[in-house]
Amino acid sequence: MSRLAVLGAGAWGTALAAVLAQRHEVRLWARDRAQAGAIARERCNSRYLPQITLPAALAVGADADAALEGAQLALVATTVSGLRETLGRAGKVPVVWLCKGFEAGSGLMPHQVAEQVLGAGAPFGALSGPSFAQEVARGLPCALTLAAREAQFARAAAALLHGGRLRLYYSTDLAGVEVGGAVKNVMALAVGISDGLGLGQNARAALITRGLAEIARLGAALGARPETLMGLAGAGDLILTATGDLSRNRRVGLELAKGRSLQKVLAGLGHVAEGVRTAAEVAKLAHSHGVEMPITETVVEVLAGRLAPQQAVERLLARDARAEGGG
């Protein structure tokens, strides 16, 4: 039995901690002391996973140092905005993060943030793939990809987490795993808007396919491997997030299509929809690398309130015919 630390008690961190606690000694850290106390007493994260009873063996607390003491691996389950600070707490414990997106302002991928905080030679990686926290917490099957620069670390970390109904694959394509995980949230917003407008399944399939093409183009510019973007962390995660009813980003798109303001949609969501934060960073990265991403650009315009959802669809439909494989 290994000792693991999970830093962040949101839905995904709590779900993974609950599953891993069946096979390992796991300590879940919550930043908020009151939340940590409530989870520990009630054996339930009533805010993020209200219907899931947590294992008695799962330790929960608000002391990050205590959670990390003796840990063989730390899983950082914060949003991208909290990644830099949380990595600073890890010290010399090997780290794998679960967040998906680019750092606001800098446009850095999570592994680039980790290089700045921990050093390029530190043992770290990213865990991504098609995964809804509620399903994982219920013990339903799930397959994920763990990527790290060093193949030995990727293989060892994946083997540590693999087991039960949680299947792990490993990769050395950090850029591919992170680009796929980040940009699929933007595409899920677009699909949600389309579905909310009642444009049908043909339109949904077209948006997913062309969205994957945008992911592939940006991925190529950032050094990702094509096979990664066609795998779990790319196409797999995109399909789930764009079509699944548990997808927060899809729900935001559905609500925007009804004419609700972004502010009201997010206030009612109760969770973070990373695509909202990520869209502008993706558009800036695409522009700086000369990559054409019309769906992403249109989503940015809708989120900023400069374009109505129906106008966004008309803009995409009005684009000139071109050879498939182009923009």
The residues assigned a catalytic role are 184
Side-chain-side CA neighbours of 4 within 13 Å: the count stands at 28
Determine contact, residues 292/284, Cβ cutoff 8 Å: no
Determine contact, residues 36/60, Cβ cutoff 8 Å: yes
Q: Distance between the two ends of the chain, CA-based, in angstroms?
A: 50
Cβ-in-10-Å burial (0-12, 13-18, 19+) of 75 comes to buried
Spacing of C-alpha 42 from chain mean position: 27
Of 265, 263, 241, nearest to 254 (Cα)?
Answer: 265
Cβ-in-10-Å burial (0-12, 13-18, 19+) of 99 comes to buried
Determine contact, residues 185/253, Cβ cutoff 8 Å: no
Question: Which residues have a Cβ under 8 Å from the Cβ of 16 and sit 6 or more positions away?
Answer: 6, 75, 77, 98, 133, 136
Determine contact, residues 48/9, Cβ cutoff 8 Å: yes
